[in-house]
Amino acid sequence: MRRQQASELDGRADDRRESAPGAAQPPDVFSRIPAIVRKVQPEVVTVLTGGGVGSGVIYRPNGVILTNDHVVHGASAVDIAFADGRRVRGKVMATDPDTDLALVKVGRENLPAATFQQKAARRGVADRRIGEPARVRQVGQRRHRLR
């Protein structure tokens, strides 16, 4: 039962059960993660505030950044660090505590905006999230563990 539950989490049939000789096996979900990270890394930003650090994504090529309200809460301006090593000041344009979303505008153009899937994911399907988890900070492209 445990194997079945694990396979259902990522939307695959249980690939551990026996199959006909020569049958194609589904690709391992976890082996694709490094390629996914390389693809989306330019779209992910670090949001630095006076009180901490968080993550966001480039929402529009004209410098609109999508982040969380709890990251920018109470701030009118924040610093945004991009994967290319640049760091610029951004103005908090809108916040919504109910959805925990916020928009920040920076003075950069032609940025690699993130793309989003149009349909909601099915319940129980594994997803992959890329950003700055708690206690990890990105400076340029280096990561440092905070102690």
Is 108 among the domain residues?
yes
10 vs 14: CA distance, rounded Å: 10
Is 145 among the domain residues?
no
Q: Which of residues 106 and 129 earns the better pLDDT score?
A: 106
**Is the distance from CB of 88 to CB of 107 less than 8 angstroms?**
yes
Is 97 among the domain residues?
yes
Question: Which of 84, 50, 46, 83 shows the shortest CA–CA distance to 68?
Answer: 46
53 vs 70: CA distance, rounded Å: 10
Give the pLDDT of residue 116.
Answer: 80
Is 129 among the domain residues?
no
Sign of the torsion angle spanned by Cα atoms 114, 117, 122, 126: negative
What residues contact residue 115 under an 8 Å CB cut-off, 6+ apart? Answer: none
Share of the chain above pLDDT 70, in %: 67
Is 136 among the domain residues?
no
Is 46 among the domain residues?
no
CATH of the domain at 67: 2.40.10.120
Is 135 among the domain residues?
no
Across 14-38, average pLDDT: 65
Give the pLDDT of residue 71.
Answer: 94
Q: Residue 99: give the domain boundaries.
A: 51-116
Tokens standing for 87?
């760091």
| pLDDT over threshold 60, residue 1 | no
Question: Which of 70, 64, 69 shows the shortest CA–CA distance to 45?
Answer: 64
Total number of domains constituting the chain: 1
Give the pLDDT of residue 42.
Answer: 92
Q: Which of residues 9 and 129 earns the better pLDDT score?
A: 129
Is 62 among the domain residues?
yes
Residue-wise pLDDT tens digits, 52-79: 899 999 999 999 999 999 999 999 999 9
